[in-house]
């Protein structure tokens, strides 16, 4: 089954399995790399802005996050729900993660606008943009750390154990 690819990945992902687990790890790495870029932009405010970096980040933000969230919500989460046999605790956790996806996509849209303005040299409220940037990348780092620690660590071993 061919679905989406992460921003920089040319490999198609499959239904849940070893290949898609590798894809998700790579996609998370790409999100974290983008967070590094956003932190550098926040640190460069207000007078040392690299406009090209702002434009690049603005263009990468939406597609990368939507792609990862789509995969998690349509492949990974249903797989985990099925595997857990309908655990209430897991369901609550997955609902919270979906809510965070929704929030992050909203913030990503606002950030995209702000980064495009910064990149084109338009006037922006530097303090507000810095605050938005820091709030966003800190939230994304926490989210990915949680998913890796609580959802994917065991999955890695489960998939590894299926190897001949
Ligand atoms: Fe997620």
Distance CA 154, CA 30 (A): 22
- The answer on pLDDT for 8 being more than 50 is no
Entry field: residues in the chain:
164
Domain boundaries, the chain: 18-161
Q: Distance, CA 45 to ligand 1 centroid (Å)?
A: 28
27 within 8 A of 76, measured Cβ to Cβ: no
Q: State percent of the chain over pLDDT 90.
A: 66
The pLDDT, as a whole number, for residue 16 is 57
Query: Which residues line ion ligand 1, judged by CB < 5 Å?
Result: 72
Tell me, in angstroms, the distance from the centre of ligand 1 to residue 145's CA.
10
pLDDT digits (tens, 9 = 90+) for 33-50: 999 999 999 999 999 999
133 neighbors 42 (Cβ within 8 angstroms): yes
> Would the pLDDT of 82 be above 90?
no
Any residues with CB less than 8 A from the CB of 158 and at least 6 apart, and which? none
Distance 55 CA to ligand 1 centre (A): 24
Q: What is the CATH number of domain 18-161?
A: 1.20.120.520
């Amino acid at each position: 089954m061919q679905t989406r690819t992460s921003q920089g990945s040319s490999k198609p992902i499959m239904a849940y399995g070893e290949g898609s687990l590798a894809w998700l790890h790579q996609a998370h790495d790409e999100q974290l790399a983008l967070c590094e870029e956003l932190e550098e932009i926040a640190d460069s405010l207000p007078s040392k802005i690299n406009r090209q970096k702002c434009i690049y980040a603005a263009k990468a933000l939406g597609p990368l996050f939507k792609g990862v969230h789509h995969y998690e919500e349509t492949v990974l989460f249903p797989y985990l729900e099925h595997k857990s046999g309908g655990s209430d605790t897991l369901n609550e956790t997955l609902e919270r993660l979906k809510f965070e996806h929704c929030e992050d996509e909203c913030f990503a849209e606002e950030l995209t606008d702000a980064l495009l303005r910064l990149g084109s040299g338009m006037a922006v409220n530097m303090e507000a943009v810095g605050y938005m940037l820091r709030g966003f990348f800190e939230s994304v780092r926490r989210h990915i750390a949680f998913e890796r620690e609580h959802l994917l660590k065991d999955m890695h071993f489960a998939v590894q154990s299926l190897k001949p």
